[in-house]
């Protein structure tokens, strides 16, 4: 059966069989609607892991599980590699600093380019605008007056989207632009199966049929324009781990823990951010039900997460209590001007500088890491003390979920974090004053003025502004002088997404509000 499933992945379309019923619960509404960022979406209790099982993403399960010495991408063409290179007219960089789109201070792209309401947007290496809505994927290219849409559902949507066990995904969630003419499409699936994120025990090699089918669900498709530029096709389902545990890296099983392939903890994608400039321009970070996955081309490293541990009494009072890890969903992703990754999940926030070797990005300590290898160490890993006091990574009681949804750093060096019900906060993160091992907080100031405590998105711009998206009250701007004002001309209540693109002059801010796309220039 496994070989037959492998053989089903041919050409640019991936058709995968599905098997045993999954009785686990997911998140959001069961109709797969548009409420994954609503205040009622509490993220459940996923992202947990008993300390006795070990979280493979933390480096304590990071021994090479019989893997090879192959480096990223050296496995040769794998299943799903039937895609073509991006078509030239969809992949060339703009020849002018303005880029290919209008330079007006504000443009309603939805009205100008006949774009229906969409769930997510992304911008690729050639400034093509990618669009996502359910099983539909679209791209708006320079010189066109409306998007090109997929002619039929592809990839994870090819068997339909829904909660049934034979579906590869419950729904699509986010889209991020990749290199010119390509995009990454995220999906969600059942997050809680068989003891949280650990799938059907820890075998030596290979997978049972049930386990094999489960690993295929959710995760990320890489899509691209076909060679004629007439359709959008699947290039491959993202599966190439850059980590140390890769005995099955040629199998198209999606994202797995990079230092122990037996774990499938990052199953659903809830956010993504594209690196727009600097050494790692073009890389993508994915926020999942358990942590953050870093993607470079078609290779990934999974995962990192600012987590905490809850002490749970043992059923046998003669034995010591258990420590159960809490990671939560990662909706909030940002990038500082230095290229540091900013993380805001259901409980905590973190700051991670990137390292050069993707193989070691998933390691939170140096256990098993060569002395000459660089790892990515937290500059900040903390609760936000005013709304989640305690500062301790170990807690006897459950910590309240703050449902952080966005995090940014402004030009003046200040940081901002915002969430559903938790408000908007300004803080400092000075490494000279902060010891990440103590999980301490610094200098929090609450920002008021938008008539809400429910925030969904933030974007810091080169002029020193911070654009602030709310769940019900539209788009706001915190000026460099720290005055919060409503953005004129942008109508709607729910700001689902903000993307800042400094690669063009004047810089572009993409704002998705109530499913409509606005672009602001000049900030």
Would you list the DSSP string of 429-480? --TTT--GGGT-----EEE--SS-SBEEEEEE-TTS-EEEEESSS-EEEE-T
Q: What are phi and psi of 31, to 5 degrees?
A: -85, 5
Which is nearest to 375 in space by CA: 309, 435, 301? 301
According to the model, what pLDDT value does residue 436 have? 52
According to the model, what pLDDT value does residue 270 have? 98
According to the model, what pLDDT value does residue 393 have? 79
Q: What are phi and psi of 219, to 5 degrees?
A: 65, -140
Give the three-state DSSP class for 349.
strand
Per-residue pLDDT of the chain (523 residues; tens, 9 = 90+): 332 232 232 222 222 222 222 223 333 333 333 333 333 344 334 334 443 333 443 433 322 223 333 333 333 333 333 444 544 444 555 568 999 999 999 999 999 999 999 999 999 999 999 999 999 999 999 899 999 999 999 999 999 999 999 999 999 999 999 999 999 999 999 986 443 344 444 444 555 677 778 889 999 999 999 999 999 999 999 999 998 776 555 677 899 889 888 788 999 999 999 999 999 999 999 999 999 999 999 999 999 999 999 998 889 989 998 888 898 999 999 999 999 999 999 999 999 999 999 999 999 889 989 999 999 999 888 889 889 887 677 888 888 899 999 999 999 999 999 999 999 999 987 654 445 544 445 678 999 999 999 999 999 999 999 999 999 999 999 999 999 999 999 999 999 999 999 999 999 999 999 999 999 999 9
According to the model, what pLDDT value does residue 212 have? 77
Give the three-state DSSP class for 131.
strand
According to the model, what pLDDT value does residue 199 have? 47
The CATH number given to 2-521 is 2.130.10.10
Please give the full DSSP string across 286-350, using - where no structure is assigned.
EEESSSEEEEETTEEEEEE---EEEEE--SSTTSPPEEEEE---EEEEEE-TT--EEEEESS-EE
pTM, two decimals, is 0.84
Location of structure tokens 């929090």? 444
d(CA 504, CA 404): 30
8 A C-beta contact, residue 328 and residue 336: no
8 A C-beta contact, residue 232 and residue 131: no
- Residues 6 or more apart whose CB falls under 8 angstroms from that of 436 comprise 377, 378, 379, 380, 381, 382
Residues written for the chain: 523
d(CA 330, CA 342): 11
Return the H-helix or E-strand segment holding 112.
helix 109-112
Which is nearest to 475 in space by CA: 425, 393, 418? 418
d(CA 235, CA 93): 21
Which is nearest to 169 in space by CA: 183, 155, 182, 152? 155
8 A C-beta contact, residue 289 and residue 305: no
According to the model, what pLDDT value does residue 243 have? 85
Q: Which two tokens stand for residue 367?
A: 């256990």
β-sheet bridge partners, residue 521: 508
In the Cβ-directed half-sphere of 101, how many Cα atoms lie within 13 Å? 30
According to the model, what pLDDT value does residue 513 have? 98
């Amino acid at each position: 059966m496994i070989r037959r499933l492998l053989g089903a992945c041919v050409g640019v379309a991936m058709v995968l069989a599905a098997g045993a019923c999954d009785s686990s619960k997911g998140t959001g509404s069961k109709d797969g609607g548009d409420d994954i960022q609503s205040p009622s979406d509490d993220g459940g209790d996923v992202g947990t892991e008993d300390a006795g099982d070990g979280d493979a993403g933390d480096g304590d399960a990071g021994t090479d599980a019989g893997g090879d010495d192959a480096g990223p991408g050296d496995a040769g063409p794998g299943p799903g590699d039937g895609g073509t290179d991006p078509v030239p007219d969809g992949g060339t960089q703009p020849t002018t600093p303005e880029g290919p789109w209008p330079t007006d201070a504000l443009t309603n792209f939805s009205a100008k380019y006949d774009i229906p309401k969409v769930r997510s947007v992304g911008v690729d290496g050639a400034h093509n605008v990618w669009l996502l809505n359910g099983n539909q994927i679209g791209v708006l290219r320079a010189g066109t007056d409306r998007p090109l849409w997929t002619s039929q559902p592809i990839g994870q949507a090819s068997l339909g989207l829904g909660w049934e066990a034979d579906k590869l995904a419950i729904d699509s969630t986010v889209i991020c632009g990749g290199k010119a003419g390509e995009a990454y499409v995220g999906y969600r699936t059942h997050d809680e199966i068989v003891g949280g994120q650990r799938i059907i025990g820890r075998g030596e090699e290979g997978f049972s049929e049930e386990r094999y089918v489960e690993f295929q669900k959710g995760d990320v498709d890489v899509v691209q324009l076909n060679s004629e530029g007439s359709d959008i096709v699947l290039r491959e389902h993202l599966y190439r781990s850059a980590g140390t545990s890769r005995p099955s890296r040629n199998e198209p099983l999606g994202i797995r823990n990079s230092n122990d392939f037996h774990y499938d903890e990052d199953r659903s994608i809830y956010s993504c951010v594209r690196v727009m400039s600097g050494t790692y321009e073009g890389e993508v970070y994915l926020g999942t039900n358990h942590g953050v996955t870093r993607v470079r081309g078609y290779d990934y490293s999974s995962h990192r997460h600012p987590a905490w541990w809850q002490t749970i009494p043992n059923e046998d009072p003669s034995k010591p209590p258990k420590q159960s890890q809490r990671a939560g969903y990662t909706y909030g992703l940002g990038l500082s001007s230095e290229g540091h990754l900013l993380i805001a999940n259901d409980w905590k926030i973190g700051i991670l500088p990137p390292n050069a070797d993707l193989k070691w990005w998933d390691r939170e300590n140096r256990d098993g890491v060569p002395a000459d290898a660089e790892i990515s160490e937290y500059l900040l890993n903390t609760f936000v003390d005013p709304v989640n006091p305690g500062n301790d990574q170990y807690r006897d009681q459950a910590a309240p979920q703050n449902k952080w949804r966005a995090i940014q750093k402004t030009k003046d060096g200040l940081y901002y974090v915002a969430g559903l019900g938790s408000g908007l906060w300004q803080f400092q993160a000075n490494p000279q004053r902060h010891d990440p091992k103590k999980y301490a907080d610094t200098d929090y100031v609450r920002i008021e003025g938008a008539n809400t405590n429910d925030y969904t998105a933030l974007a810091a711009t080169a002029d020193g502004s911070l654009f602030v998206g709310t769940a019900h009250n539209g788009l706001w701007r915190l000026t460099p002088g720290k005055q919060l004002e409503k953005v004129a001309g942008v109508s709607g209540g729910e700001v689902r997404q903000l993307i800042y693109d400094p690669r063009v002059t004047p810089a572009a801010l993409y704002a998705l509000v109530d499913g409509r796309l606005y672009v602001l220039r000049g900030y």
